[in-house]
Amino acid sequence: MPNITKQTFEKNIPSWLTFLLATACGIIVANLYYAQPLVGVISSSIGLSANSSGFIVTLTQIGYVVGLLFIVPLGDILENRKLVVSSLLITAVALIITALSKQTWLFLAASFVIGLGSVATQVLVPFASYLASDSSRGRVVGNVMSGLLLGIMLSRPLSSLVADFFGWHAIFILSAIAIIILAIVLAKVLPTRKPSTDTHYLALLYSMWHLLRTTPILRRRAAYHACVFASFSLFWTTVPQLLTSSMFHFSQKEVALFALVGVAGAVAAPIAGRIADRGFTRPATGIALLTVVISLLLPLIIQTSSPIGIAVLVVSSLLLDAGVSANLVLGQREIFSLSPEIRSRLNGLFMAIFFFGGAIGSAIGGWAYAEGGWSTALWVGITFPIISLLYFTTEKK
């Protein structure tokens, strides 16, 4: 496709491009989670000790946070299409190295780069908001984010199933192929977007601290989602341990099928976007936060190894994923209503803050489950959304 601009799309982004961006975000973000259910088999394969096996996931997460803070802001000064395609090609190379490497240090270094390059998703989301009209921005962002959320939710069961049939290397090879194809497609069809600002990179990074201090809505929405994402990470870190324990005796395939249930929660993302477009962001936020609280309260009240207990966990996972999905889109809709010139920096800060919250949730969840079991983990997990709900009550109309 020739060099096109937003004006080519007249007043709004076409539905085919929204679908493409949603698909792209899902394919890219899944790279952050493929290794999580495979930590044990990967660590033994590359000679990593059990005590250090957590680095397989941690380094990918660290790479992602570094990318959010130092690469995503480049979307405010560099041509967005080239930035996305370059990041994807780097990610593809890292995925191939990950699949083929037999040395521990090389695998871990490639894992870090996978996280670093996967921040292309957070360049594409502000890109979609730029192409959308003011009246449809929430709907467009919601649709794109639903693709991202589906990528997160499908990645774990997909990697488990692929590894079960073809070995753990296969999922990284398949992802590399998908990323290369995606890079070619996006290079052909994405419109160019060269930001008008001429800010230097160092000044751009310094301005992020200024934006954090002077943008109350960013701090508030980041705090909301850091709390609910901490609960989300805690739940999905500990529930597989519960399901495979003597209480339920689930196999890895059954855990993968259980994880697929959460996919239905992604439907809340586009719905939340449409609600935000109609001006109901505040009540919708309250409902989303309350939904997360209820999702963790249910398994606290009803704990049994019978089919009822499994049904409660299914309902809990659906409510949790729906609440988190809706709150994420509502937050981004608010942030993307601010100046287009700073959206990439705002989005980078927003994502880095709540992703850090998720890392805390995972770490505390693992500790809480080991020390006190499922109930202790749930009590810790429910604390986070309660804090965000209390903070929400201080929000002015």
Q: For residue range 188-244, what is the model confidence (pLDDT) as tens digits? A: 999 888 777 777 888 888 888 899 999 999 999 999 999 999 998 888 878 877 887
Percentage of the chain exceeding pLDDT 70 = 94
Asked whether 217 and 334 are in contact (CB, 8 A), the reply is yes
Residue 8 has what pLDDT? 47
Beta strands in the chain (DSSP E): none
Residue 52 has what pLDDT? 64
Domain residue ranges of the chain, discontinuous segments joined by +: 6-392
Quote the pTM value.
Answer: 0.79
pLDDT at 59 over 70: yes
Which of residues 7 and 70 earns the better pLDDT score?
A: 70
Which of residues 148 and 174 earns the better pLDDT score?
A: 174
Q: Label residue 263 exposed, middle or buried (CB < 10 Å: 0-12, 13-18, 19+).
A: middle
**Three-state DSSP class for residue 339:** coil
Phi-psi region of 103 (alpha: psi -120 to 50; beta: other; left: phi over 0): beta
Asked whether 256 and 157 are in contact (CB, 8 A), the reply is yes
Q: What is the mean pLDDT of the chain?
A: 87
In angstroms, how far is CA 215 from the centroid of its own chain? Answer: 23
CA distances from 145 to 20, 273, 279, 315, 327 (A): 12, 9, 19, 22, 11
| 283-330 residue pLDDT tens | 999 999 999 999 999 999 999 888 999 999 999 999 998 999 899 989
What is the C-alpha to C-alpha distance for residues 267 and 372, in angstroms, rounded to an integer?
Answer: 34
Residue 23 has what pLDDT? 95
Least confident of 97-101, 121-125, 255-259: 255-259
Tokens of 111: 């894992």
Residue 369 has what pLDDT? 83
| Fold (CATH) for 6-392 | Growth Hormone; Chain: A; (1.20.1250)
What is the C-alpha to C-alpha distance for residues 88 and 236, in angstroms, rounded to an integer?
Answer: 27
